[in-house]
Chains A and B, each alone.
Chain A
Amino acid sequence: MSLLEVQELSAGYGSLPVLQGLSFKIEEGETAVLLGLNGAGKTTTVLCLAGLIKPWGGKITFDGKNVTGWDPRKLVAEGIVLVPEGRHVFPELTIAQNLRIGAWPYRRDRKHTRAIVEQAVEYFPRLQERWTQLAGTLSGGEQQMLAIARGLMARPKILLIDESSLGLSPKLTKTVFEVVQKINSDGTTVLMVEQNAGVLKIADRAFVMEKGTLVYEGQGGEILDHAEIREAYLGAPA
């Protein structure tokens, strides 16, 4: 059984449909990546999965449970955690406090929280150095790291990462991808929304979206070899 199964998902804003019957599956332990042009519905998909947008129709099954239309509060507790596009760190809280907010579902369990913090900091040693610095004063890359670390604090079974490389230098992007790979290898399933082709190197599976539906599904490496798709959806050669 797949960890996450999306069937015929449709959603939109106001009366404007964005997702029109999207279906895919993600297996436990893999790193999946969602590709597509602007407006294809990638972000809408992850927002739906995280419960921030209520789907119009379709079904989302997670870990054997039907979680369609659940509130984000329940979904986070269930293990679906989103690292939103644009980082959305809390600018006037320190790094430590940002992480603490991330551990909201475990707020009554101090010992547990401390353990996760230590783990998160292992991935991003730079955060440790700036422990009491306000998040708003961090660089873009550091904020992205903080956002991912904060996502990890809720002990996700699946981590949804939206556009983590946006606005980062190639070097930083590489670092972020490497950490994501490490997180994945430590047992967390990952779904990334990306426009950067570099992500395919760490992806086990890739989905390509267009106009709210899936147009291609395959393994990460496959797409790298698939010049047509690469040019159409990733813009840049790998």
Chain B
Amino acid sequence: MRTTIVSAVLVVLLGLGLLVGAGVENGPNPFITLGVMNGAVFGLVALGLVLVYKGTRVFNFAQGEFGTIAAYLLFLSINRGWPYWVGILVALAGTVLIGLVLERGVIRPLINAPRINVLVATIAAALFMIGMEILIARIEPRSLSPIIAAVDSSGNPNGVTVFNLPIEPQRLIALGVLLSLGGVLAWFFSKTDLGLAVLATSQDAFATRVMGIGIERMSRFIWVSAALLGAIAGILYVPLTGALTPAVMTSNILIPAFTGAVIGGMTSLPGAFVGGIVIGVVQSVGLWAGGHFTIGEKALQEVIPGVEQVTILLVLLAVLLSRPQGLLGKEA
């Protein structure tokens, strides 16, 4: 079943690629690649969402802002003249601290509350973080430099070019980190006792306590890991966006990541990855097609503005109605 779905998705993507590939003059159509690359970033944020969902059955709307805050911390550190790696450490540590505070101050008191309350609480936490960013950092855009510049000092590109799309080193790093983190998480949840305990807590907190497992510790572990994942995503992604502004991760990444995670099946790590890429490709190709194709005299985007967003909603509805557990979610 799973392999069928994965191959179906791949076939659809490939077909899409052939379909639109014809339309570009200078070499192969780069928008599929662009979409896959963006999708990989969505996947990275989706990993954090899946982690929290697996552990607590809650949609975590603060996941994006972990990333923005980390990016701001990194920016501030670099601005102070500290080395990049110190900045990264500061950003990770600071975000983990925020994750701890969030868990202790907001999530823990709501441990017995209905899930919807926790969901709303994460929304409040995300908005609070955005508000603080605006209040402290102001709204003006800033520039966050990547780990490795896209162009070296003599002007030569540092990255590689795939299908007519130059891919900067930062993206390659992000992709590598995503794949390895995904692997680590998959191993963690299927092979380690702690991972199993986290899953067990989300399925039956009472029984977990009966087994002598401290659910508070599990909760703390989950939120700290989520904050860490969010921070990594922010540090890797914000330099690619070109401008660091308050709420940058929430407004640009969180929603596609969410949709991707749900399409992939919310509890499935490979699902988050596949879903993220589906969303990335739909978005990128849709945006391109909106300007490229015409219906009569008008561009497609004038007839159907935001065609990519409409497609995403349709894909989401189709998946949820036909397979409520998502493409790669378990049947249970």
Binding site for B on A (CB under 8 A): 50, 52, 71-73, 75-77, 81-82, 84, 88-93, 97, 100-102, 104-105, 107, 134, 136-137, 150, 154
Chain B residues near A154 (CB-CB < 8 A): 211-212
Chain A residues near B196 (CB-CB < 8 A): 93, 97, 100-101
| B184 on interface, CB distance cutoff 8 Å | no
When the two chains form their complex, are residues A92 and B212 in contact, meaning their CB atoms are under 8 A apart?
no
Among B204, B212, B213, B214, point to the contact of A88 (Cβ < 8 A).
B204
Docked Cα-Cα span, A77 to B213, in Å, equals: 10
Docked Cα-Cα span, A89 to B204, in Å, equals: 8
Chain A residues near B199 (CB-CB < 8 A): 90, 92-93, 97
When the two chains form their complex, are residues A75 and B210 in contact, meaning their CB atoms are under 8 A apart?
no
Among A91, A101, A136, point to the contact of B197 (Cβ < 8 A).
A101
Chain B residues near A93 (CB-CB < 8 A): 196, 199-200, 203
| B1 on interface, CB distance cutoff 8 Å | no
Among B193, B212, B330, B332, point to the contact of A100 (Cβ < 8 A).
B193
When the two chains form their complex, are residues A50 and B203 in contact, meaning their CB atoms are under 8 A apart?
no
Chain B residues near A90 (CB-CB < 8 A): 199-200, 203-204, 207
When the two chains form their complex, are residues A88 and B332 in contact, meaning their CB atoms are under 8 A apart?
no
Docked Cα-Cα span, A134 to B331, in Å, equals: 11
When the two chains form their complex, are residues B213 and A101 in contact, meaning their CB atoms are under 8 A apart?
yes
| B82 on interface, CB distance cutoff 8 Å | no
Chain A residues near B330 (CB-CB < 8 A): 92, 134
Docked Cα-Cα span, A72 to B207, in Å, equals: 11
Q: Mark B214-229, 1 if CB is under 8 A from A, else 0.
A: 1000000000000000
Chain B residues near A81 (CB-CB < 8 A): 212
Docked Cα-Cα span, A88 to B207, in Å, equals: 6
Chain A residues near B213 (CB-CB < 8 A): 73, 101, 104
Given contacts A92-B330, A92-B332, A137-B332, is CB(A102)–CB(B203) below 8 Å? no
| B128 on interface, CB distance cutoff 8 Å | no
Docked Cα-Cα span, A102 to B213, in Å, equals: 9
Among B206, B207, B214, B332, point to the contact of A73 (Cβ < 8 A).
B214
When the two chains form their complex, are residues A84 and B212 in contact, meaning their CB atoms are under 8 A apart?
no
| B209 on interface, CB distance cutoff 8 Å | yes
7 further contact pairs, Cβ within 8 A, besides A101-B213, A136-B332: A52-B209, A52-B210, A72-B212, A77-B212, A100-B193, A101-B211, A137-B332
Q: How many B residues, CB 8 Å from partner?
A: 18
Given contacts A72-B210, A90-B203, A90-B207, is CB(A107)–CB(B193) below 8 Å? yes
When the two chains form their complex, are residues B193 and A104 in contact, meaning their CB atoms are under 8 A apart?
yes
Between A and B, 20 residue pairs with Cβ closer than 8 Å are A50-B210, A52-B206, A75-B212, A76-B211, A84-B206, A88-B210, A89-B204, A89-B207, A90-B203, A93-B200, A93-B203, A97-B196, A100-B196, A101-B193, A101-B213, A104-B213, A105-B212, A134-B330, A150-B211, A154-B211
Chain A residues near B203 (CB-CB < 8 A): 90-93
When the two chains form their complex, are residues A73 and B212 in contact, meaning their CB atoms are under 8 A apart?
yes
Chain B residues near A72 (CB-CB < 8 A): 209-210, 212
Output the nearest chain A residue to B205 by Cβ-Cβ distance. Answer: A88
When the two chains form their complex, are residues A101 and B332 in contact, meaning their CB atoms are under 8 A apart?
no
Chain A residues near B193 (CB-CB < 8 A): 100-101, 104, 107
Docked Cα-Cα span, A15 to B288, in Å, equals: 65
Output the nearest chain A residue to B267 by Cβ-Cβ distance. Answer: A92
Docked Cα-Cα span, A81 to B207, in Å, equals: 11
When the two chains form their complex, are residues A84 and B197 in contact, meaning their CB atoms are under 8 A apart?
no
Distance in Å from the Cβ of B59 to the closest Cβ of chain A?
18
Q: Top 10 A-B pairs ranked by shortest CB distance? A: A76-B212, A88-B207, A107-B193, A90-B203, A90-B200, A73-B212, A101-B200, A82-B210, A92-B332, A88-B204
The B35-89 residues at the A interface (CB cut-off 8 A) are none
Docked Cα-Cα span, A91 to B202, in Å, equals: 11
Chain A residues near B214 (CB-CB < 8 A): 71, 73
Distance in Å from the Cβ of B200 to the closest Cβ of chain A?
5
Among A77, A84, A91, point to the contact of B210 (Cβ < 8 A).
A84
Docked Cα-Cα span, A150 to B211, in Å, equals: 9
Among B206, B208, B332, point to the contact of A91 (Cβ < 8 A).
B332
Docked Cα-Cα span, A52 to B330, in Å, equals: 32
Output the nearest chain A residue to B193 by Cβ-Cβ distance. Answer: A107
Docked Cα-Cα span, A213 to B200, in Å, equals: 35
Among B207, B211, B332, point to the contact of A134 (Cβ < 8 A).
B332
